[in-house]
Amino acid sequence: MQQDLKILVVDDDPKIVSLICLYLERDGFTTVSAGDGAHVLDIFTREQPCLVVLDLMLPHVSGLELCRRLRERADVPVLMLTAKIEEEDKLAGLSLGADDYMTKPFSPRELGARVRAILRRTGILNERRPKLNLHGIEVDMDKHRVKVEGKEVYLTAFEFKLLVALMEFPGRVFSREQLLAQVYAYDEMYVVDRTIDVHIGKLRQKVELDAARPERILTIRGVGYKFREAGNEEWAG
């Protein structure tokens, strides 16, 4: 059991609600749900969840408006779901205080991992975090240590969070905005996307055998970055 932590899932699609609740309950969380925006605040007040999974497009009251109202009541983490891909919608959710967002369709397994990451980051979930080990890089998240080919290397706090964000989901392509959201607190989101490019360059100097020909942290041109998945031999600069 995840310390008896309760999560509120809000979506107008019963199948999505059922699937999310199933996976979160398999992870040991308790779940409650709502199918529209009309009763969310009442349910939130009654159930006192530790996190809200909130759909952007809801009947009666929009997800953005609910996020704003929730933020007025409590500092509860919010993971926003959206079928819309417009940049302004994502930025609007983040500016209102959403802690992360996922675009539909999504992997329920990844959603569970995102929930745990948010709860760890906010100090709500105190669990021993796993060690990451892939392509010669070992990351001990509890001890904040990184080894490359068996040799310990020093990373700044920003670089460490950036590396962990990529290594936790090998093969997944992150936009610069998504990586900023993983690394920065949302009251610090005044930084520009090019910040990620600068820090990726510095990180590659420390974790790549040849930073000019990266084998681990790959650039997906026009999109962002990813950590090479196990068994994938592709190269990119």
User: Which of the pair, 96 or 38, is modelled with greater confidence?
Assistant: 38
End-of-domain residue from the set 66, 97, 121: 121
Phi first, then psi: give them for residue 8, nearest 5 degrees: -95, 125
Phi first, then psi: give them for residue 138, nearest 5 degrees: -115, 130
Domain that holds residue 204: 131-227
The proportion of the chain whose per-residue pLDDT surpasses 90, expressed as a percent, equals: 37
The SS3 of residue 162 is: helix
CATH number at residue 158: 1.10.10.10
> How many Å apart are CA 170 and CA 100, to the nearest integer?
18
Highest mean pLDDT among 3-7, 93-97, 175-179, 216-220: 216-220
Q: How many domains does the chain have?
A: 2
Strand partners, 194: none
**What string of DSSP letters covers 19-81?**
HHHHHHHHTT-EEEEESSSSSHHHHHHHH--SEEEEESS-SSS-HHHHHHHHHHH----EEEE
CATH number at residue 40: 3.40.50.2300
Does residue 232 sit within a domain? no
Residues 112 and 67 in one domain: yes
What confidence tens digit (pLDDT) does each residue in 59-89 have? 888 888 888 888 888 888 999 888 766 556 6
pTM for the full predicted model = 0.56
Q: Is the pLDDT of residue 237 over 50?
A: no
**Position 14 confidence tier, pLDDT thresholds 50, 70, 90:** very high
Q: Is the pLDDT of residue 126 over 80?
A: no
Strand partners, 10: 34, 54
Residue type, 3: Q
Strand partners, 32: 8
> How many Å apart are CA 181 and CA 178, to the nearest integer?
5
User: Rounded to whole angstroms, what are the CA distances from 227 to 72, 90, 174?
Assistant: 37, 23, 9
Does residue 234 sit within a domain? no
Residues 20 and 66 in one domain: yes
